[in-house]
């Protein structure tokens, strides 16, 4: 007698826990959707931009005209692994980190004259 009544008492609880599982999954759905939207709107474009910048930095060559993060314009005269030398005007050179370069300008975009 005790066994049959115990089984009868747990059967509705087991059926109800299945419904609780669905409601918890449904409750998490907006959070998951927000993360997916955040990934495609913010994270993925930033990763793509970083990859393009890294490619640009690696492709720098002597004689390229560049713009720096500080607003300096000049011509690359020497290249190292982490640093480069930038000629701002004849006789004025500065040494910068490669990562400070934000844009490679078209040839002839700046004129370095005396």
Give the residue extent of every domain in the chain.
1-59, 60-105
Instruction: Give dist(CA 46, CA 48) in Å, integer.
Output: 5
Instruction: Look at 78 and 7; give whichever has higher pLDDT.
Output: 78
The confidence score (pLDDT) of residue 72 equals: 95
The CATH number of 60-105 is which of 1.20.120, 2.30.30, 1.10.3430, 2.60.40?
Answer: 2.30.30
| Predicted pLDDT at 6 | 55
Query: Residues 62-70: what's their mean pLDDT?
Result: 95
Residue by residue, DSSP assigns 1-62 as -HHHHHHHHHHHHHHHHHHHHHHHHHHHHHHHHHHHHHIIIIIHHHHHHHHHHHHHHHT--T
Q: Which residues touch 46 (CB under 8 Å, ≥6 apart)?
A: none
What pTM was computed for the model?
0.66
24-52 residue pLDDT tens? 888 889 999 999 999 999 999 999 999 99
* 72 vs 21, more confident: 72
CA angle 92/83/75 to nearest 5° reads 40
């Amino acid at each position: 007698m005790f066994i049959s009544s115990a089984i009868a008492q747990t059967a509705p609880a087991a059926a109800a826990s299945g419904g609780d599982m669905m409601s918890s999954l449904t409750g998490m759905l907006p959070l998951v959707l927000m993360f997916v939207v955040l990934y495609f709107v913010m994270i993925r474009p930033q990763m793509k931009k970083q990859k393009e910048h890294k490619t640009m930095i690696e492709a720098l060559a002597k004689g390229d005209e560049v713009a720096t993060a500080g607003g300096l314009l000049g011509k690359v005269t020497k290249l190292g692994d982490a640093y480069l030398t930038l000629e701002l005007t004849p006789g004025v050179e500065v040494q910068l980190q490669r990562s400070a370069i934000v844009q490679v300008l078209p040839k002839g975009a700046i004129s370095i004259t005396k």
